[in-house]
Structure 1
Amino acid sequence: MNVLAVIVGIAIVFGVALDMALTVLHPTIRGAFSHRLTRGLWRMIRALSVATGSRRMLTFAGPLATVALFVAWLGGLWLGFGLIYLPFVDQFSSTVHLAHRGVFTALYASASVLTTLGLGDVLPTQNGIRVAVVCEAAAGVATLSAAISYVLSVYPLATQTRAHALYLSDLRLRSPRAACEYIAATGNTGVAEVHQRLIEGHQSLRRFPVLYYFHPDAEEESVTRLLESAVVLCAVARWAPPEEVTPYGFRVAEGLQTTLELIRADYLAKYVAGQIGQPSDEQIPTEEAAATLRSLREKLASPLRKARLSDSEAQQFTHFTSNMDHLLEGLARAHVYHHEPLLHRFANGDEPPVGTA
């Protein structure tokens, strides 16, 4: 029994240390426990939000997930070292009388060392336990340092993502006409700038997956709005561009399309599907999408409106619109937002109806 307690304790300590190292230090690999904890907490808060009809409740998910993560790390180290000490509680000297040395004594000693409280009422007397005590004290300091580093890394990135989303929202790029005017005014650099902002946001999410759970008060600052704006801009630049777009601009738009497809796969696999299941993968009928694209080119007075729409172009536009609609629908459902199908927006060509912003 004593050997089992030590083995389990060591396993817990190493598990926590590995999860903490991956979460804080590794640029792409997620800590398995951290990810499950934050996702589970999000599911619970989202269920409460839907049940009460209060979307504002979702704004607490990110901060609560961050706090829960630190508490879980500390709790794991506390329990793990407590189990390691349990068979050796008799090897601790005490300045006070302890009626019974057992689980409470082991956990008390672990808490005192982990928090570097250092009251001195329970002290190790054997060298092996002294080494364990030093390791636990170091782990406690490392956890505190990791927590500070984590917060100082995550919160600026959360603010940056919201700023990117608000920037695109203020430009009204969800509107195909506004996107066309933006491209005409900025040329190739405008699409490249949005592409760069999107890459930065996605890399930040891969580095710190908890960013997904920082739900903003205003939808204009959300990742959903950021992606929606980028999707509309990409579609206009690729298939209904103004005359200001050069061959280089087309290449940039193709790069933006590739990035959006990668983001879609990442979000649906790691975030959306784990909350509400995979959204429908039903494809938009090619004929309907082709008719919408022709209408969009006419409304935006694109130079391509006089050209014949090839089958390849129609299929590419259909595939892109269908895939992006799946992503945006899934994000809207997960974050309790309204979703307007992309084809409706492309068919309208102008600003979204009032009340759907």
Structure 2
Amino acid sequence: MAWLVSLVGVGLVMAALRDLFHTLWHPTRHAGLSRLVMTGMWRLARRLRARRRVVGLVGPLAMVTVVGLWAAVIILGWAIIYWPHMPGAFTLTPGSRAAQQPALLDSVYLSLVTVATLGLGDITPAEGWLRLVSPLEALVGFALLTATVSWVLEIYPALTRRRVLAIRLALLRDSAPTTQQLDSVAGALLLDSLATEVVRVRIDFTQYAEAYYFHDGEDHSSLAAILGYASALAQRGQAAQRPDVRLTGDLLANALEDLAGILDQRFLHTGGPSATVFAAYAADHGRSVSQP
């Protein structure tokens, strides 16, 4: 029976590690803990019609919540592993009052100390297998800290790329390039560079899906609000006289269609064309699609 309880703890630890792995290093369409938490918090904020400042906190707060849940599940899982063997399989320092406490409380305490790599030493494993398992928890705690830092360092560059594209499109809209200016070598280079940036954003939504739940802020930095203008630029490029401009116009249009497919598949589920997906994306972020 004791081993069955310990196996439950092993299952909890493995579930947390699996979710961490799929969130950071092998993103999939399967809804893990991080996706469920972020989706739930985002929908709650939208349903309550919270102010933009509040909605803007959903992404960071959801990341903190997910990391806290990972840590809690790992600590609880290892505590359950220790619990059936506490205190008989452990050595207590002289004068320690650990044995006078409930076994579960001592197990949670030991798990917290070990995952934080404090190494206080007042409760130490005595049996051979526990002497191997306990250091593994310290390694997992170090991996969790490293993963948290890596997650932050991955998400925020993706947000920067998205906002840079949005601001660039907003500046182009304000500049109002003429048909003659767009139907030139410079226009072809412009459309090609925009297509490249759209593809990068598309990859970011694939690799770092959690970035979707970060609010972009003002309209000029909101990709959700400005994508309509990108579509208009693509159409103008496709209708140009120069073949190189038409080619890059097709490239931008295909990149936008691919982006719409990812947004619809992973987040919006409209089943409609690109214009419908972009309108739903803007509405989900509290914006309206910018008209050319």
Structure 1 and Structure 2 fold alike (TM over 0.5): yes
Say how many residue pairs are matched: 287
Quote the residue 2:187 is aligned against. Answer: 187
Quote the residue 2:213 is aligned against. Answer: 213
Q: 1:6 to 1:181 in 2, by over 3 A?
A: farther
Amino acid at match of 1:261: E
Offset of residue 113 of structure 1? 0.4
SS of match in other structure, 2:287: coil
Quote the residue 1:325 is aligned against. Answer: 275
Q: RMSD of the TM alignment (CA)?
A: 2.3
1 CA distance for matches of 2:154 and 2:282?
27
2 CA distance for matches of 1:208 and 1:202?
10
Q: TM-score, normalised by structure 1?
A: 0.74
SS of match in other structure, 1:224: helix
Quote the residue 1:68 is aligned against. Answer: 65
SS of match in other structure, 2:57: helix
**Tell me, which stretches of 5 or more residues in structure 2 are unaligned?**
none
Amino acid at match of 1:23: T
- Write the deviation string for residues 30-87 of structure 1: whole angstroms up to 9, x where unpaired: 6722222221121222233x1x4x1221111111122122112111111111111111
1 CA distance for matches of 2:219 and 2:210?
18
Calculate percent identity across the aligned residue pairs. 26
Q: Are positions 1:260 and 2:256 aligned together?
A: yes
Amino acid at match of 1:334: D
2 CA distance for matches of 1:70 and 1:11?
18
Q: 1:184 to 1:191 in 2, by over 3 A?
A: same
Contact 1:231/1:324 (<8 A) preserved: no
Which residue among 317, 335, 340 is the counterpart of 2:285? 335
Say which one has the larger Rg: 1
Offset of residue 226 of structure 1? 4.6
Offset of residue 162 of structure 1? 0.8
Q: TM-score, normalised by structure 2?
A: 0.89
Q: Are positions 1:272 and 2:268 aligned together?
A: yes
Offset of residue 223 of structure 1? 2.4
1 CA distance for matches of 2:180 and 2:232?
12
Offset of residue 262 of structure 1? 1.9
SS of match in other structure, 1:123: strand
Quote the residue 2:225 is aligned against. Answer: 225
Offset of residue 142 of structure 1? 0.6
Comparing 140-149 and 223-232, the one that deviates more: 223-232
SS of match in other structure, 1:187: helix
- Write the deviation string for residues 101-124 of structure 1: whole angstroms up to 9, x where unpaired: 422111111111011122222211
Quote the residue 1:32 is aligned against. Answer: 32
Q: 1:249 to 1:33 in 2, by over 3 A?
A: same
Amino acid at match of 1:183: L
Offset of residue 179 of structure 1? 7.0
